[in-house]
Amino acid sequence: MADAIRAFAGDCTVETDDRTHRGRVLVLVKPDRTVLVHDADGYQPVAWLTRADSVTVETDDGFGLTAHLDDRRLRVTGDRIRRSVYPVTEAGVPVGTHPETGGPLVRTGGAVVDLDAGTRYPLVAGATVLDARCPDCGLPTMRVDRGATFEVCIDRACDPLDDVVRERFDRAWTCPDCGSDLRIIRRNGRLLAGCDAYPDCETAFTVPAGVVVDDCPCGLPVFETATGRRCLDGTCDR
């Protein structure tokens, strides 16, 4: 089971590169191959290896667990060890339930995740997940600043952010290098205001996470962002 924590408990000898412990401990192996060895004292493990390159478990003759990370090694051995497997998911801030599966939805790691189905809805940078629901599919909506403030579905296939930004700002600005219109496009995973004369003119600017509040002396718009005001052209010093 890939998304599961494996637990081993009992009288174990724990060896690392610089020390050895023995005691009745709990050994946890997480899905990302992080190994944690806990005893009865405090919250910090007595030994651990984060995201090991490899973890092997031997059960033919007693119990043995070996984890390697680069040149580091963690070895746990013992007899009469109790073993358990517990399915786990990501944990995040609850944002309701999925309208079709009924599964809990949580925001975690830059996405909204259906904990039952495992479906991920990646969020754009700076997005705020709202209580409001999409009228088309019933999923939560998100508020995003891209030139203006938009409210769209977290499922980009249902209500693409690119479409609403394009509808609002396509051809709204002029290329400072050749005078052609700037088109709202997506290229290499980025939302851009790119020159309509491409490839003859390769001018393009990333649309920042902010709202247009003014005009720059260079002719491009000024955005209010989380870090202050800036021109659409991030290199502009006017």
Same domain, 221 and 192: yes
For residue 1, what pLDDT is reported? Answer: 47
Which domain-ending residue is among 87, 117, 147?
87
- pTM here? 0.73
pLDDT band at 2 (very low <50, low <70, confident <90, very high): low
Mean pLDDT, range 145-151, rounded to an integer? 96
From 148, 165, 182, the end of a domain falls on: 165
pLDDT at 127 over 60: yes
Question: Do the domain assignments include residue 238?
Answer: no
Q: Take residue 217 and report the two structure tokens written for it.
A: 């002396």
Q: Look up residue 122 and give its two tokens.
A: 């990646």
pLDDT digits (tens, 9 = 90+) for 7-52: 999 999 999 988 999 999 999 999 999 999 999 998 899 999 999 9
Using DSSP, state whether 165 is helix, strand or coil: helix
Residue 129 clears pLDDT 60, i.e. is over it: yes
Cβ neighbourhood burial of 48 (10 Å; 0-12, 13-18, 19+): middle
In tens, the pLDDT along 172-214 reads 999 999 999 999 999 888 899 999 999 999 999 999 999 999 9
Residues 76 and 104 in one domain: no
CATH number at residue 28: 2.70.180.20
Claim to verify: residue 38 and residue 58 sit in the same structural domain: yes
Residue 42 is predicted with a pLDDT of 86
Residues of the domain holding 147:
93-165
| 150 and 187 both lie in a single domain | no
Domain end among 165, 185, 219: 165
Domain count, the chain: 3
